[in-house]
Amino acid sequence: MTRNRILILTGIFVLAIAVFAVSTMMDTEPQAPGSVRVLLAADVEWQALNPLRGDKSPKAGTLWGDRGKPVPCGFLVKFIDGFSSPPHIHPVTYRGVVISGMVHNDVPEAKEVWLPSGTFWTQPAGKVHITSAWGTENVAYIEIEKGPYLVHPAKDAFATTETPVKMEPAAMTWADAADGAKIAKLPGNPQDQKLRRALVKLPLGFKGALRSNGATLHVAVIQGRPEHHVPDHTKATPLDAGSYFGSEGAVTHRVSCEEGKCLLYVRTMGSFEVTGEG
């Protein structure tokens, strides 16, 4: 074997070892926080919720998932002051939390009962209802378990065993968590016991963490202006109401509440906990 050939083979062998070493390092070293996603309210992209209604349609902005596909999704809905829908149904159940303004959601003949910020409600699939809004800025967070999110006329109504739920913050049962934080559990999904929903209150001055122990975590900011610290990053991101952060796998999100009282909607596939700074 010539000297040049030996050198070439040696070079290939060394290169192969280097490629293997890099590949192994990429597979075994802790990954950067790529599974963490933060979306500011100011960066939400708005579209017509019901394009068939044109300018009369509320606006919708997706936070996570895809409301046009058969997958779970969480999105914002923005109503103009005085909005009132015609009687209609949805083929899927949705859950909502009022962020700002006042929302009325009930059967067409019901007296208007305005739901304030922080109120959680559900709208069962197939049941005829109307939705109205009152206030200079009316925004709600809406969540579905399986899209697409569609609007059908009242004549397409169908019966289910579900009943609507309305829960104002003052009527919820709040459990104490770390450093003055409180957690209110929300009605779950009988088909999936791992899926949990809750509202989390963080008092002014709170500094701590929200840790997800499950497969996924989705958090929508309902009130206040909490600050979110991405893992392995020192700079905090202030989150206005309507902002979002989420992650996959077991991730610890450092959060603080420096302005007013902060209210978060939390959805997790698995358990989560709120811990204090120390």
pLDDT tens for residues 217-265? 999 999 999 999 876 666 889 999 999 999 999 999 999 998 888 999 9
CA-based radius of gyration for the chain: 23
For 44, residues 6+ apart whose C-beta sits below 8 A from its C-beta are 61, 62, 63, 76, 242
Q: Calculate ∠ Cα 275-276-278, nearest 5°.
A: 120
Would you place residue 56 in the very low, low, confident or very high pLDDT band (cuts 50, 70, 90)?
confident
SS3 167: strand
CA distance 193 to 31: 30
CA distance 256 to 171: 25
User: What does DSSP assign to residue 115?
Assistant: B
Would you place residue 192 in the very low, low, confident or very high pLDDT band (cuts 50, 70, 90)?
low
CA distance 32 to 79: 38
Query: 16-26: string of b/e by CB count within 10 Å (b at 16+)?
Result: eeeeeeeeeee
The tokens describing 47, both together, are 């579209």
Higher pLDDT: 25 or 138? It is: 138
Q: Quick check: bond before 148 cis, omega within 30?
A: yes
Percentage of the chain lying above the pLDDT 90 cut: 72
* Res 29: pLDDT: 30
The tokens describing 244, both together, are 């979002």
Amino acid residing at 245: F
Q: In this model, does residue 274 exceed pLDDT 80?
A: yes
Amino acid residing at 114: W
User: What is the model's pTM?
Assistant: 0.85
CA distance 153 to 126: 10
Half-sphere exposure of 55 (CA within 13 A, CB side): 0
Number of Cβ within a 10 Å radius of residue 65: 19
CA distance 247 to 57: 31
Amino acid residing at 262: C
Q: In this model, does residue 19 exceed pLDDT 90?
A: no
* Res 194: pLDDT: 83
* Res 57: pLDDT: 87
The closest alpha carbon to 96, from 54, 49, 52, 161, belongs to: 49
Domains and CATH numbers, the chain: 44-169 (2.60.120.10), 172-276 (2.60.120.10)
* Res 51: pLDDT: 83
CA distance 93 to 86: 18
Query: 38-53: string of b/e by CB count within 10 Å (b at 16+)?
Result: bbebeebeeeebeeee
CA distance 5 to 159: 79
Residue-averaged pLDDT of the chain: 86
